[in-house]
Structure 1
Amino acid sequence: MEWQQLEYFRAAAQEEHFTKAAERLSVSQPALSRSLAKLQRELGVELFDRQGRTVRLNHYGRSFYARAARILQEMDEAKLELHRMRQMQFGEVSLAFLKSLGIAFVPRLLGSFRERYPQVSFKLHQNATAAMLEQLRRGEVDLCLSAVADTTPEIAWRSLWTEEMFVFVHRSHPFAGRRSIEFAEIADERFIALKPGFSSRTLLDKLFLDNGREPRVIFEGEETIGILGFVAANLGIALLPRIDGVAMKDIAALSLADRSLHRAIGLAWVRNRALSPAASLFREHLIEFSQNGASS
């Protein structure tokens, strides 16, 4: 029995006319008739009753059709699934992410994804959270790995993990030998900070605003590593999360004793904008990857 015979049989049963079935399948009517005749010989029974120019399934035909239709449906679904998988395995994903995540997390993430889907290519963007979310709204990126949860209604958000914020000081600083510190002790310190728009700067400003103060920021930058470099040069202190993959030579990290300060890292996308198959596949992989503890 050939697969083509089942397709010819299904078409003839649905059209109840050999000529119409042949036209539907773009084959000649004699070729379809020969195929069906061969099928019936192999099965040892007639499947159709002729009524003038039309044909109708008989008792055997109806029984065989029920099973043949399920087999063909399974094959159709299998072909569709393979087509979708092929679309997923090719294509391009545009991802925006925090600069601090580009040191270790994103390289590991992309490495694990490309082990499974090496044909997918990426366009990567690094910026302040506010700028990345604007890129997302404009359709310049598919997904945004950021630190803001209170997004606008059109932005969907999936929280992935949280990071504690630490006070970083030079090893010669009077605070360096301690494990924690209170806000009042750092209120008058000189701060090295990221520029406004970055999530760490937002948390720094909010910390001081909640205490009725304003931070004394003497240097602003756009790179977390650069900020830590200024701290390592003993030019000031900083409020940042621990950055995986960055050596902490000449720097000490202290917790805030009187206030636990964290930032949430999550994945954002436009709620009603369809993602490409490759981007949808990568989104699922990213969520699974972060849940398996790869963010630590």
Structure 2
Amino acid sequence: MRLENLRYFLAVADESSVGRAAHRLGVTQPALTKGIQRLEQDLGLPLFERSAKGMTLTRVGASFLERVHLIALAMDDVVREANDIRVGQAGKLRVGVAPQFADELFSPACADLIAQRPGARLEVHTHLNDALFDMLRRGDLDLCIAGLEDRAHAEMEQIPLFPDEMCVGLRAGHPILSRPNLSFRDIAAERWILPGRSVVARRRLDERVAELGLPPVNVVIEWSASIGHRLNLVRNTDLLTVLSLRLVRSEAGRGLTSVPLEQAVWIRQVGIAHRKGAYLSPLAHRLIEILLEHSLHS
């Protein structure tokens, strides 16, 4: 079984199209088609259903995909480890950073890393944590810095850096703040702008609402873009959102405040995540050490 055929299979499974997969890999469509056919002959099983709409995985193909993806990640790790051995401490590190931790946490640590490892190269992606975790699982990132899951994760190792208080954020002067005997039921009934349900901060809010036996909050805008866009809308409307309390108190949180209710504040852990069992380069290990050092003094 040839490795290039496995890569062809992964690309077609991802693109659902031979043409798009061939373009992505820089090969001809006939070469890719022959590769898939060889793979199916080796296995003695059909991996795709062909139709005018494209290529759809069979039930066997979907099961095979999970295994092949792990093989591809392992091969990438082997190649990267060999390159790191060849070039020593230099190399390329792929890091994902949630927007709210880019300036105060990652940038100073990155500056230290570059000063200590002048030959290093970094590829940095800034997204919310759901997108970062997806990239991590696919092997597109080596590390990500974000709010962590509360529970142990089957696919990821998590290294806590510091606790972060989350709160319900709103504009200063919001009418609800003058309401007597304000309760969580009152704020839950307001209109909200929130990231998608797969974002850790959103899930924490949904869990708190469920714990209190309340109906789901009224989400009028679901927006998983940069947090800056959300802040601007909250600042200029009566929408509520969920934010880091340190962000509300920073310059970026100008014009915003938090709901003064104990139930509207909760703790999450901020930290580093990487794929369980994945190869981490010396560069990755050094960045982790620097981040841990910075978190001790933050």
Q: Same fold (TM over 0.5)?
A: yes
How far is the alpha carbon of 1:261 from its aligned partner?
0.9
Provide structure 1 residue ranges, at least 5 long, that are not aligned to the other structure. 1-82
- Residue 145 of structure 1 aligns with an amino acid whose one-letter code is I
Quote the Cα distance in structure 2 between the aligned partners of 1:159 and 1:276.
20
The answer (yes or no) to whether the contact 1:166–1:256 under 8 Å persists in 2 is: no
The 1-side partners of 2:137 and 2:260 are apart by 35
- Residues 225 and 181 (structure 1), Cα distance of their counterparts in 2 relative to 1, 3 Å cut: farther
Instruction: State the shift of 1:230 in Å.
Output: 0.8
CA contact (8 A) 1:135 1:141 kept: yes
CA positional deviation for 1:162: 1.3
CA RMSD of aligned residues (A): 2.7
> What are the within-5 Å matches in structure 2 for residues 72-91 of structure 1?
87-88=88-89, 90-91=90-91
1:270 corresponds in structure 2 to: 275
Closer/same/farther in 2, CA of residues 135 and 190 from structure 1, 3 Å limit: same
> Is the 8 Å Cα contact of residues 191 and 238 (structure 1) preserved in structure 2?
yes
Q: 1:172 to 1:158 in 2, by over 3 A?
A: same
TM score, norm. by length of structure 1: 0.63
Structure 2 gap segments, 5+ residues each: 1-83
Mapped contact 2:128–2:226 kept (Cα < 8 A) = no
Deviations 1:151-200 (A, max 9, x none): 4334211111111112222222134579x964123121111111222222
Q: Between Structure 1 and Structure 2, which shows a larger proportion of helix residues?
A: 2
1:219 maps to a residue whose letter is I
Does the Cα contact within 8 Å between 1:166 and 1:255 map onto a contact in 2? no
Distance 1:181 1:124, change over 3 A: farther
Percent of residue pairs bearing the same amino acid type: 23
Larger radius of gyration: 1
2:297 partner letter: N
Give 2:158's aligned amino acid: W
1:258 is aligned to 263
- Aligned equivalent of 1:145: 145
Matched, 1:136 2:136: yes
Q: Give the distance between the partners of 2:154 and 2:252, measured in 1 at CA.
A: 39
Cα 1:282–1:250 change in 2 (3 A) is closer
* Partner Cα separation in structure 2 for residue 292 and residue 200 of structure 1: 25
SS of the equivalent of 2:189 reads: coil
Q: 1:125 to 1:184 in 2, by over 3 A?
A: same
Tell me which residue corresponds to 1:236: 239
SS of 1:102's equivalent in the other structure is: helix
After superposition, where does 1:28-67 map in structure 2 within 5 Å?
none
2:229 to 226, 246, 253: 226
- Which 4+ residue blocks in structure 1 deviate beyond 6 angstroms? none
Question: Which digits, 9 at most, give the CA deviation of each residue in 1:194-242, with x for residues without a partner?
Answer: 1222222111221222223201111122221111111110241112113
Secondary structure, aligned partner of 2:140:
coil
Partner of 2:185: 184
Q: Distance in 1 between matches of 2:255 and 2:273?
A: 36
User: Aligned residue pairs: how many?
Assistant: 209
Q: Relative to 1, partners in 2 of residues 1:169 and 1:154: Cα closer, same or farther, differing over 3 Å?
A: closer
Match of 2:164 in 1: 163
* Cα deviation, residue 95, structure 1: 0.6
> Matched residues in 2 for 1:250 and 1:128: separation?
23
Please tell me the residue identity of whatever aligns with 2:190: E
Any conservation in 1 of the 2:174–2:238 contact (CA below 8 Å)? no
TM-score, normalised to structure 2, is 0.63
The CA distance in 2 between the partners of 1:208 and 1:256, in whole Å, is 14
Q: Distance in 2 between matches of 1:172 and 1:118?
A: 49
